[in-house]
Amino acid sequence: MKKKSPKESLTEIERLVLPADTNIFNALYGGHLMEWIDNVASIVAIKHGRRRAVTGSIDSLFFLSPIQLGDIVRLEGRINHVTRSTMEIEVDVFSQEGLTGTTSFTTKAYLTYVAVDQSGRPTEVPPLLLETDEEKLRFSNGEERSKERMRLLHKIKEEAKGSP
């Protein structure tokens, strides 16, 4: 399978925070932002694999600062690491005050997607073509997170065996 550059699946989306997106404090609901993050990560996974892709896990999600009503939210998704059928997607979120242009880094998330065939079985995705030092570092760090995810997944499966 031909290698693909992470640049080929880089995805950026902007959203305006509307009243229906906010809580009583005029801050963006965390759940709405999680949906937007998952959507961007889905696009990255589909663009990389050109296959169906399902969310396997949201490994880390850090809310660093609130996003307010009227802010312009920019979500940047990129692929960091792949295995045979899984893809680690990183999503960075920035908010910009529409009237001042002041921009803040607000959220970081790491998600794992699994490429699946028509019957829902995991299927192969292209390996990454790593061209820059930054891409190589992202891949290396993603590989470490992948090992930790697998350790946690095995632990969760073991714990689930004893559940009713």
CA atoms within 13 Å, Cβ hemisphere of 75: 26
In this structure, of 38-42, 73-77, 112-116, 151-155, the range with the lowest mean pLDDT score is 151-155
Q: How far apart are CA 80 and CA 88, in angstroms?
A: 6
Q: Distance between CA 3 and CA 128 in Å, rounded?
A: 5
Which pLDDT tens digit goes with each residue over 96-151? Answer: 999 999 999 999 999 999 999 999 999 999 999 999 999 999 999 999 999 998 89
Q: What is the pLDDT of residue 164?
A: 72
CB 87 within 8 A of CB 31: no
Q: Could you tell me if 129 and 138 are in contact, meaning their C-beta atoms sit under 8 angstroms apart?
A: no
Decide if 32 contacts 21 (C-beta within 8 A).
yes
Domains of the chain: 6-161 (3.10.129.10)
Q: Are strands 11-16 and 86-96 parallel, antiparallel or unpaired?
A: unpaired
